[in-house]
Structure 1
Amino acid sequence: MTPTLRTERLLLEPYTPEDQEGFVALFQNERVSRWMGDAPATEGESRALFERIFTKVYAEGLFDVWAVRRDGRLIGHAEIKPTDVAQGYEIVYALVPEVWGAGLGKELAGAIVDYGFDTLGLAEVYATVAAPNGASLAVLNRLGFEHVRDLAEDDGSTTHVLIRRRPERPARRE
């Protein structure tokens, strides 16, 4: 079951059925969807994706997916899931454009990475980012992600594969 996570300004919690309109609005926003997978998706595809979160992802415990809230308002989406691109776990996050530039991307991505290391026990976490998505690349760079390789997409674009390794813990002195 996807746990609830808290940061200084954000609440990450499992979606509820009442979140559907906010989810669809986020995934239909062209400024957001241009960076999300094979976007843009139709409204119907976004609604079907939202339904699969409940019928497949949560029902089968496939991976963790969160609604991201600030002051009670749905402002984003986050997940950490297995990925074939890097044979590990990948973080995915999106925020509504109205909150861009306030440091929430770093706060959100950092919370997911920490969850991957501290709760899931991962040794490394990946992210895939479209080469022109400078804002997300800057966020991940500030969090200590490093470039691994580039993927050439079918449409001729490039996606960067990034990695963040679990920090070494200092040896305990006895």
Structure 2
Amino acid sequence: MTPELRTDRLVLSPYVASDESEFVALFQDRLSGRWFWEGPDPEPEAETRALFGRIFSSVYAENRWPIWAVRHEGRFIGHAEIKPSPLPRLDGHEIVYGLTADSWGQGFGTEVAEALTSYGYRELQLDEVHATVSAENSASLNVLKKLGYVHVRNIPEDDGTTTQLLTHRRASDTVRP
């Protein structure tokens, strides 16, 4: 079950069916959604809607990993999750988050990443938490480095871009418990 998480200003709560349009808008947005895409363009809207449906039919129904809607003052501003990493040769969990473009620059990314990292240590008993971020996403890279994530390696992508793997280890935990 996905528990509710709270930070100073945010509530991370399980998605509800009425979040579909905001989820789709986030994932389809050319500014904020591009960090979720695998390629230069968003998936067709129908595929994004199907992805939202799988949160309920697969991830929540099978209790696979926690996925949250991120809200500030009751308003949807993003998506967050901590899940087993799909990377080969990486046995661990990674955090995933994205915020609406109109919520950028307010420190919300730091709050979300900090909450996810702390959840990984406290609730999942992880010794380390990973993140994979496009090398072009300097805002997220800065957030993660500020929280103590360390660059481990670059991962070349088929489209010529580079993804960075970053890791935060419990021993150097700078995230509030």
TM-score (norm. length: structure 1): 0.94
Q: Which has the larger radius of gyration?
A: 1
Q: By how many angstroms is 1:15 displaced?
A: 0.3
Equivalent-residue separation in structure 2 for 1:159 and 1:166 (angstroms): 23
Equivalent-residue separation in structure 2 for 1:42 and 1:94 (angstroms): 19
Q: 1:78 aligns with which of 64, 74, 80?
A: 80
Q: Does 1:20 align with 2:20?
A: yes
Deviations 1:65-114 (CA, angstroms, capped at 9, x unpaired): 00000111111000000013222100000000111001110011100000
Equivalent-residue separation in structure 2 for 1:105 and 1:23 (angstroms): 17
User: What is aligned with 1:124?
Assistant: 128
Deviations 1:93-144 (CA, angstroms, capped at 9, x unpaired): 0000111001110011100000000111100000000011100000000010
Equivalent-residue separation in structure 2 for 1:167 and 1:113 (angstroms): 13
Q: By how many angstroms is 1:167 displaced?
A: 3.3
Q: 2:43 aligns with which of 25, 41, 47?
A: 41
User: What is aligned with 1:54?
Assistant: 56
State the Cα RMSD in Å.
Answer: 1.2
Aligned letter for 1:167?
A
- The secondary structure found in structure 1 opposite 2:71 is strand
Equivalent-residue separation in structure 1 for 2:13 and 2:106 (angstroms): 21
User: What is aligned with 2:138?
Assistant: 134
Cα separation, partners in 2 of 1:32 and 1:168, compared to 1, 3 Å: closer
Equivalent-residue separation in structure 1 for 2:146 and 2:37 (angstroms): 23
Q: By how many angstroms is 1:33 displaced?
A: 1.8
Q: By how many angstroms is 1:37 displaced?
A: 4.2
Equivalent-residue separation in structure 2 for 1:115 and 1:75 (angstroms): 20
User: What is aligned with 1:10?
Assistant: 10
Cα separation, partners in 2 of 1:2 and 1:154, compared to 1, 3 Å: same
Equivalent-residue separation in structure 2 for 1:128 and 1:143 (angstroms): 15
> Which blocks of at least 5 consecutive residues in structure 1 are unaligned?
170-174
Equivalent-residue separation in structure 2 for 1:113 and 1:159 (angstroms): 20
Equivalent-residue separation in structure 2 for 1:98 and 1:33 (angstroms): 12
Q: By how many angstroms is 1:168 displaced?
A: 5.8
In 1, are the aligned partners of 2:59 and 2:65 still within 8 Å (CA)?
A: yes
Indicate the percent of aligned positions where both proteins have the same amino acid: 54
Paired residues in the alignment total 169
Aligned letter for 1:29?
D
Could you list the structure 1 runs, at least 4 aligned residues long, displaced by more than 6 angstroms after superposition: none
> Which blocks of at least 5 consecutive residues in structure 2 are unaligned?
none
